[in-house]
Amino acid sequence: KAGVTQTPRYLIKTRGQQVTLSCSPISGHRSVSWYQQTPGQGLQFLFEYFSETQRNKGNFPGRFSGRQFSNSRSEMNVSTLELGDSALYLCASSPGSGARYNEQFFGPGTRLTVL
Amino acid sequence: QQQVKQSPQSLIVQKGGISIINCAYENTAFDYFPWYQQFPGKGPALLIAIRPDVSEKKEGRFTISFNKSAKQFSLHIMDSQPGDSATYFCAAGGAAGNKLTFGGGTRVLVKP
């Protein structure tokens, strides 16, 4: 099986712009979660989508949003970028149901730099 | 109540030695405890995971020990190899979906 793919791998944006990141989960997986990784705050949960519905949400401002499509692919959007949004954004795929429903497999991440 | 505390922050071990990383959690609703390994420039890779109904789980050179009453769990890496040099994260998750709360990470260096 192919792993989790994320595009683009690297992005440079300026303050005030918006950005959209994409994630394709492992085939057959219906849950996609997004995390932010920074040296200062570590790995923090953003949100989870399961069958096109947001199932969990972390403590991030409304500038961070996401969605999931019928083929389980997911996108996250950050509007009005701030310098502090510079981070590695990781997508994790899991079956979402069944015995191993919450085993999460991460993609390589998208490195976002905000100037 | 959502915190997961991980120690030590860094660890140096000789090749062939044992690496031990500890984590403690507060929220008793957590029922899934995975460990991840991350190399520079890569996403975290799932190593091994445990649920509270068992006290130990072993997969190859990696063992998780779980103490439910103390709300602690640990990762033991036996016969550590230079290729094990990476950052290791513990995490905890609950029954409601796939929200994982991560520890701060431990940077492990295995010296040849």
Which positions of chain B have pLDDT values less than 70? 1-2, 95-97
Tell me what pLDDT residue A99 has. Answer: 75
Contact B100 A104 (CB under 8 A): yes
Share of chain A above pLDDT 70, in %: 99
Residues of A with CB under 8 A from a CB of B: 4, 31, 33, 35, 42-45, 48, 50, 55-56, 58, 90, 92, 94, 96, 101-109
User: Model confidence over A39-49: pLDDT tens digits?
Assistant: 999 999 999 99
Residues of B with CB under 8 A from a CB of A: 32, 34, 36, 41-46, 49, 89, 91, 93, 96-105
User: Hey, of B53, B90, B99, B107, which one would you mutate to test binding to chain A, going by the most A CBs within 10 A of its CB?
Assistant: B99
| Phi, psi for A36 (deg, rounded to 5) | -110, 130
Contact B46 A44 (CB under 8 A): no
User: Model confidence over A88-107: pLDDT tens digits?
Assistant: 999 999 988 777 778 999 99
| CB-count burial class (<10 Å; 0-12, 13-18, 19+) for A22 | middle
Tell me what pLDDT residue B98 has. Answer: 81
User: Hey, of A36, A43, A54, which one would you mutate to test binding to chain B, going by the most B CBs within 10 A of its CB?
Assistant: A43
Tell me what pLDDT residue A96 has. Answer: 80
Residue A20 bridge partners (DSSP):
A77
Given a cut of 90, whether residue A1 has pLDDT beyond it is no
Contact B96 A90 (CB under 8 A): no
Q: How far apart are CA B91 and CA B27, in angstroms?
A: 12
Which chain A residues touch B27 with a CB distance below 8 Å? none
Please identify which residue in the block is written with the tokens 């063992």. B63
Cis status, amide bond into A25, omega within 30 of 0: no
Tell me what pLDDT residue B2 has. Answer: 59
User: Hey, of A53, A89, A102, A111, which one would you mutate to test binding to chain B, going by the most B CBs within 10 A of its CB?
Assistant: A102
User: Model confidence over A18-34: pLDDT tens digits?
Assistant: 999 999 999 999 999 99
Q: How far apart are CA B111 and CA B85, in angstroms?
A: 9
Within a 10 A sphere around the Cβ of A62, how many other Cβ atoms?
Answer: 6
Contact A96 B100 (CB under 8 A): no
